[in-house]
């Protein structure tokens, strides 16, 4: 995971693509990486399909869309966010643009035992669209969502995680070497509908992916227990981390 840290500072949502096509080799690399993603929950089955973007309802001029299907178990969307964010970051390493596309719809929501989770569009873009460092991010400060933070460096990394409509639904409460990660509901009240609930669960997986990249990059040994994807209550416990000494 820690090898992905450098792309945290590079990736951005790419909404304008060039006419240039991916080479066969690039497409093979992109597909191959899907098989290497680390799951958050290994026993949830996840499948991917790459289709031409113009066969979807995606409004961007990307060459392809990645359609993500998953078994519908507890934390299935969080697991999808966790896995696919690794792929998003990897594509930045290849100068291939990606945009999570929550507005995406598919004709068949179900495929056997799997349910459609989300799509992302991707394709070649002008490499100058990527970021060059930790500036040029519109994000909350870590202190706004993480109480009791013991290592500011972790906050500086995880605050850069992307989320639907940049809603940043995460909250972290730390006491000594233990911290809880919550999904805070209704932060963007105008959008607190079904779609938004769905996206925010994916967002939490993206956040846990950034958390693991940050912890591993900073040399922490840690353990994690997982909570739920429940819709009950204003704050939902998604994960608890315990840090061992470095």
Ligand X SMILES: Cc1cc2nc3c(=O)[nH]c(=O)nc-3n(C[C@H](O)[C@H](O)[C@H](O)COP(=O)(O)O)c2cc1C
3-state helix/strand/coil string of the chain:
CHHHHHHHCCCCECCCCCCCCCCHHHHHHHHHHHCCCCCCCCCCCEEEEEEEHHHCCCCCCCCEEEEEEECCCCCHHHHHHHHHHHHHHHHHHCCEEEEEECCCCCCCCEECCEEEEEEEEEEECCHHHCCCCCCCCCCCCHHHHEECCCCHHHHHHHCCCCCHHHCCCEEEEEECCEEEEEEECCCCHHHCCHHHHHHHHHHHHHHHHHHHHHHHHCCCCEEEEECCCCCCCCEEEEEEEEECCC
Q: Is residue 199 a contact residue for ligand X (CB under 6 A)?
A: yes
Residue of 15, 45, 115, 224 interacting with ligand X (CB under 6 A): 15
Binding region for ligand X (CB under 6 A) out of 12-20, 30-38, 64-72, 150-158: 12-20
Q: Is residue 155 a contact residue for ligand X (CB under 6 A)?
A: no
Q: How far is the CB of 102 from ligand X (least distance, A)?
A: 3
Q: How far is the CB of 236 from ligand X (least distance, A)?
A: 16
Site mask for ligand X (CB under 6 A), range 69-108, x = bound: ------------------------------xxxxx-----
Q: Based on CB atoms, which residue is closest to ligand X, 12 or 220?
A: 12
Interface contacts to ligand X, rule CB under 6 A: 12-13, 15, 99-103, 162-166, 199, 202-203, 206
């Amino acid at each position: 995971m820690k090898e992905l840290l450098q792309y945290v500072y590079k990736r951005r949502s790419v909404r304008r693509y060039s006419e240039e096509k991916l080479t066969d080799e690039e497409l093979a690399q992109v597909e191959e990486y899907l098989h290497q993603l680390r799951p958050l929950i290994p026993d949830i089955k996840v499948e991917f399909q790459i289709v031409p973007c113009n066969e979807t309802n995606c409004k961007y001029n990307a060459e392809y869309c990645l359609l993500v299907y998953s078994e519908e178990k507890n934390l299935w969307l969080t697991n999808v966010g966790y896995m696919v964010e690794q792929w998003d970051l990897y594509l930045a390493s290849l100068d291939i643009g990606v945009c999570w596309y929550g507005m995406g719809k598919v004709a068949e929501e179900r495929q056997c035992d799997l349910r459609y989770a989300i799509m992302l569009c991707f394709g070649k873009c002008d490499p100058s669209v990527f970021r060059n460092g930790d500036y040029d991010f519109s994000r909350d400060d870590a202190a706004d969502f993480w109480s009791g933070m013991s290592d500011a460096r972790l906050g500086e990394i995880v605050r850069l995680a992307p989320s639907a409509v940049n809603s940043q639904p995460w909250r972290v409460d730390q006491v000594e070497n233990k911290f809880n990660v919550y999904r805070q509901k209704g932060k963007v009240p105008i959008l607190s509908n079904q779609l938004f609930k769905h996206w925010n669960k994916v967002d939490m997986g993206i956040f846990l992916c950034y958390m693991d990249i940050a912890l591993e990059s900073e040399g922490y040994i840690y353990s994690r227990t997982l909570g739920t994807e429940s819709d009950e209550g204003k704050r939902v416990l998604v994960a608890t981390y315990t840090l061992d000494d470095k």
